[in-house]
Homo-oligomer: A and B are copies of this chain.
């Protein structure tokens, strides 16, 4: 039992892996918050896509007027999908990067830039800020993931 515990905490004892775990949990929680933002707009704007959801706001025919799209709901959904498209590669490539033996300071720089950029991206999308605010924050996160992928491929390359 103790042996198993020791084995299981090996990776989590490594500082780079701990940093990876911290920032990955933060960006995944941030992504999950987009569900609540969408739900908030659906409820306050009374704009639903499923008839069984609209039923909570009026029975039968009178609920059908709530089956509609709303600009704020759609904006939150686009922000959520953009998170999926960008945070999934970060989580996958970031794990391999953390295992490829980078310097802690270099790894922290990557993780912090990505996390900061994605938080800015969310604000830029939801407020919304004029371009190129959202575009630049997207590009920073994208470039950080590319940089980590380069290190992974240089270290691990076996085709």
Contacts and interface: CB of A to CB of B under 8 A. Distances in A.
Contact of A158 (B19, B89, B96): B19
Copies of this polypeptide in the complex:
3
A56 B132 CA distance: 9
Interface residues of A, number: 67
Main secondary structure of the interface of A (DSSP, over half): helix
Contacts of A153: 22, 25-26
A21 B156 contact: yes
A4 to B, nearest CB: 5
B24 A14 contact: no
A5 B38 CA distance: 42
B49 A98 contact: no
Contacts of A87: 88
A117 interface: no
A30 to B, nearest CB: 10
A105 interface: no
B9 A101 contact: yes
Interface in A68-119: 75, 78, 80-81, 84-89, 91-93, 95-96, 98-101
Interface of A: 4-5, 7-19, 21-22, 24-26, 28-29, 31-32, 34-35, 49-50, 52-53, 55-56, 75, 78, 80-81, 84-89, 91-93, 95-96, 98-101, 128-131, 134, 142, 145-146, 149, 152-153, 155-159
